[in-house]
Amino acid sequence: MIEVIEAARDRKPLPAEKIREFVQAVVGGRVPDYQIAAWLMAVYLNGLDEASVFALTAAMADEGTTPPRMRGRVDKHSTGGVGDKTTLILAPLVSSLGIPLLKMSGRGLGHTGGTLDKLEAIPGFRVTLDDQELARQMDEIGVAVVAQSAWLAPCDGIFYALRDVTGTVDSLPLIASSIMSKKMAGGAPNLVLDVKVGSGALMKDHTRARQLAELMLRIGASRGIRVTALLTNMDQPLGQAVGNAVEVMEALACLSGQGPEDLREEVLTLASHMVSLAQMVAPDEARLRVEKALDGGQALEQWQRWVRAQGGDWLAAERGLPLASSVPVTLGRRGVVAQIDTEAIGRAAQWLGAGRQRKDDRIDPSVGIRWYARLGQSVEADEPVCEVLAPPGIRRDQAMEMLRQAVAFGSPRARSQAVLDIVS
Ligand code: URA
């Protein structure tokens, strides 16, 4: 182990076999946390040569892969954002075109929401299925979104928990190997990455986001996975809804051909690229198929089948999930929205109980935010920039103050379109 740490410290490449032994020793519990942490910090400070990143990612993936029966044809991954409910729409939309989609999703992390927490806002929805149930559901309806199994790329869980507490999350080789090991282990031959950029994203800067996307494309190519990456805008929340039940309702609106324009555009672009890779057609042709499925009701019917298959009460969702009482937030001054601290909006939602402060906190599905102010928009003094969904009390007052501070007036510098760039 000392040799592995020293190589990272001195920027010396290691043979792939040594890296594999290291990963196996980590998963086998034979490396103490302080040695893993020292290695993570060395990689954080010095980076890692590309051959070692490929070897590391492959070794992490090979330590826990999905059985062939449970593999989808296409997968997607988002690096995490505020108001990102795209999986809820993409899963039924893409699978309604006959493309099997099995997505392993996560819970909220810090200020970013998690797909599993959103799905659990639907009464009865089960995010944990046993292997047989999962395989049967894939056979019958071709779609499932479930919690990541403990056996899937377990090394990432060990690294991630240590990165979280050692200041080593924000490292391109560590992020790329974390994401791509899970996607390789999931076994889909096609992958669309949603790399979020901006004030609410892990990557605040466009150039670094592009570097991350390109690195992940090369890792995919090294294992024969066809990858397209979208750089998407997190300088403002995606859509209006931020929370759990409120995001499910917005996803359902989008599936019914309504909902905010930026959300629809991002979903259509992501879905087109997923379909293009999976069905080997040009993105423009794929987009026509996707628009037809969304606007013709096919995706909505598949949503009903999917929610029902995982035990969820789809009718309750259709009638409207319970939401906490709402209060408007105004700024008391007028101006043009120049900048939005999107991370602060995510933190306000987390503070209200839509996310967790500590690992075992309970989520309140009914709380959240409806965010109205868009970049470049003129806002009057008494015009709400957002609405807070929460019971009255000190927490709500504090969240409202956080949200007031999240808007800066002036001349807009950030771009407002949903999809910023496509890398393939
Ligand atoms: N998402 C992941 O899965 N891993 C990272 O390291 C960062 C974002």
- C-alpha 369/C-alpha 330 separation (Å) is 13
pLDDT of residue 27: 94
Q: Do 305 and 216 fall into the same domain?
A: yes
Q: Whose CA is nearest to atom 5 of ligand 1?
A: 175
What pLDDT, on the 0 to 100 scale, is given for residue 272?
98
Based on the residue annotation, tell me whether 313 is a catalytic residue of this protein.
no
Instruction: Compute, in angstroms, the gap from residue 225 CA to the centroid of ligand 1.
Output: 19
Q: Is the CB of 260 under 6 A from ligand 1?
A: no
Q: What pLDDT is stored for residue 113 in this prediction? A: 86
Task: Give yes or no: residues 243 and 205 share one domain.
Answer: yes
Residue 219 and residue 121 in one domain: yes
Q: Is 81 helix (H, G, I), strand (E, B) or coil?
A: coil
Count structural domains, the chain. 3
Q: Whose CA is nearest to atom 8 of ligand 1?
A: 79
419-423 and 378-379 beta bridge pairing: unpaired
| ipTM of the complex, rounded to two decimals | 0.96
Measured from the CA of 175, which atom of ligand 1 is nearest?
Answer: 6
Range of the domain at 28: 2-47
pLDDT for 164 equals 82
**Can you tell me the distance from the alpha carbon of 130 to that of 217, in angstroms, rounded to the nearest whole number?**
32
In the chain, which stretches have pLDDT less than 70?
69
Whether residues 21 and 97 fall in one domain: no
111 is catalytic: no
Q: What is the pLDDT at residue 148?
A: 80
Confidence (pTM): 0.94
CA pair distance 289, 49, nearest whole angstrom: 41
| 134 found inside a domain | yes
333 and 399 in a single domain? The answer is: yes
Dist. CA 243 → ligand 1 center (Å)? 20
Separation CA 292–CA 308 (nearest Å) = 23
Rounded (10°) CA dihedral 183, 184, 188, 189: 120
The residue from 265, 289, 318 where one domain ends is 318
156 is catalytic: yes
Per the annotation, the verdict on 182 as an active-site residue is yes
